[in-house]
A = this chain, B = another copy of it.
Amino acid sequence: MMNWDVFLAPYQQAVDEIKIKLRGVRKQYNMSSTSHTPIEFVTGRIKPISSILDKAHRKNIPLDELETRMQDLAGVRVMCQFVEDIDAVVKLIRRRKDFEIIEERDYITNEKRSGYRAYHLVIKYPVQTIGGEKKILVEIQVKTLAMNFWATIEHSLLYKYSGEIPEDIIDRLQNAAEAAFRLDEEMSQIRGEVLEAQVIFRKKEEEQRSH
């Protein structure tokens, strides 16, 4: 039988480390005060055991191949204020030397049929365990707040209907997807103004602090 606690421990560790690393990026941007941080906030989670079992069953993955064949056991989400920030975050992830990128999927240029939008990266992250180094797959999703908002809703519904959402609800979901998309569009419109405002804001605060 599978000892889930022991199996999932390095995944949890990887998530904890990556969270602290990407939050550090945010802090560095805020400190520099000359440029806007592309990272609004970072969350992370281990896939719940019930979802692992469901997905393994659905995709026909034997439990002893989870490690190599289920790429989202460990997941990190990076939320951005503007669609334009997503690209900056991806570049920043590509420049790092503490893990290797295995795969990238751009669901922003190529929106999923359901309306799902986000940029996904799968990385191979080295965790130092008490039994030696172990390389772990971690999925990083980069999204705007509006994209994320919509995605959590879709996820709940997919779950409820075991993947088969009824037509009328799909319609409503698509309306919500459009509303989320429009919010992102409007935000991009006023982006330049806001960025300037934030830099001014941060500088004032800094001056204050040094008095």
Contact = CB atoms under 8 A, between A and B. Distances in A.
Interface in A93-119: 95-98
Q: Is the interface of A mostly helix, strand, loop or mixed?
A: helix
B160 A128 contact: no
Nearest to A82: B153
B20 A16 contact: yes
A119 B152 CA distance: 24
A128 B179 CA distance: 37
A190 B173 CA distance: 7
Contacts of A193: 157, 160, 169, 172
A20 B81 CA distance: 26
A60 interface: no
Q: Chain A interface residue count: which class?
A: 35 or more
Contacts of A149: 145-146, 183, 187
Interface in A134-191: 145-146, 149, 152-153, 156-157, 159-161, 169, 172-173, 175-176, 178-180, 182-183, 185-187, 189-190
Contact of A156 (B133, B176, B197): B197
Contacts of A24: 13, 16-17, 127
Given A49-B209, A126-B98, A6 B21 contact: no
A183 B95 CA distance: 35
A51 to B, nearest CB: 8
A62 to B, nearest CB: 19
